[in-house]
Amino acid sequence: MIRLLIVEDSALMRKLLGQVFSGEGDFEIEFARDGAEALRVISKFRPDVVTLDIHMPLMDGLTCLDRIMLEHPCPVVMVSSLTEEGAEETLAALEIGAVDFIPKPAGAISLGIHELIPPLLEKVRMAASVRIRRSRRLVERVRFAQLAPSAFESAERYRPASVSNTKSKSDAEKFGLVLIGASTGGPPALDSVLASLPAGFGWPIIVAQHMPASFTGPLARRLNKLCSMTVTEVTQPIKIEPGNVYIAKGDADIIISSRAGLLVAMAAPSDQSYRWHPSVDRLVRSALKHVPAANLVGVLMTGMGNDGADAMTDLRAAGGYTIAESEETAVVWGMPGELVRLGGASEIKRVDEIGPLLLERRG
């Protein structure tokens, strides 16, 4: 049995979630109406996983999550609205230590809950299997705590005053791309990798992070505040240039194309032949059509499922270089683990080792 604590101030939402999980037969369920009550229940119930609402009286979800991570570390899945404010709060929760999040149903809760059930069950069951280490992503969490007060203020103090992007002819001939794929646990991992790279990093970086459309804009802006490279969400065709990170728009796919001899990144309607979006597999395959494999680096990080594993295995076979995040640091070793299983990983590295390795090879 999976011991589940549902923390939710809405009596209706508690009832509906309780019905969903009790109907599965493999959950033992307790409830809490706010963060303060949740901490009392956790100390006695010792849940395998917690679903935690963000907006609650007495003690809000972020404060409660921080206390859980300090006092009773366990997997937490946040319940978040799909508004921009909800996205920013959810990203903060993922930095603090939440494993994943689920969106609150829009409109009438009693009607929208049915659309939520399949991903809700999948994510909660996955989270229950995650082993939370007290030291998990400690370096990233310390960095976040130091930067958080100014996370949405000007980032000028984190950027070099000036960085030349002028490239010699030999540099231009070596132009290539870094392709990063991530899902569950991805935002803190992206923070760790991208924050370690200088503004003058030699190759542009394209990121496919599985997220809803309302989350990827706030994610890009947040990363732009924390990183030296310029981070942009791709909502329309954009020229790909060194010193830049391009974040795929959620609920769509990102593809690499060529216009007038220049590489561009484009948001494309999600291709339903791929299960997850933005699709890592589709990103990598599109890049292989326009850039020699030897000039591509694929990085597959934490995430549920196998998105990106097939395409990055093909990338390595064609002469490209691939990095899989190690099981030691991945929140979920699904995507990178599948890449390793297929023999498609040139390297297997801890998340804190990926940025320095990229800098060593392509900086």
Backbone angles phi, psi at 361, to 5 degrees: -90, -35
Among residues 362, 359, 241, which one has the least CA distance to residue 294?
Answer: 362
Cα–Cα distance, 326 to 302 (Å, whole number): 9
Q: Which residue is associated with the tokens 């366990």?
A: 74
Structure tokens, 43: 């100390």
Categorise residue 261: left if φ over 0, alpha if ψ from -120 to 50, beta otherwise.
left
94 three-state secondary structure: helix
Cβ partners under 8 Å of residue 347, min gap 6? 321, 322, 323, 324, 357
Helices (H), the chain: 11-22, 35-45, 61-71, 84-96, 109-128, 138-147, 169-173, 186-195, 213-226, 280-288, 309-317, 335-341, 351-362
Q: Say if residues 26 and 1 touch (Cβ distance below 8 Å).
A: yes
Residues involved in catalysis:
183, 210, 307
Distance CA 299, CA 348 (A): 10
In DSSP notation, 142-177 reads HHHHHHGGGTTS--GGGS-S-------HHHHHT--E
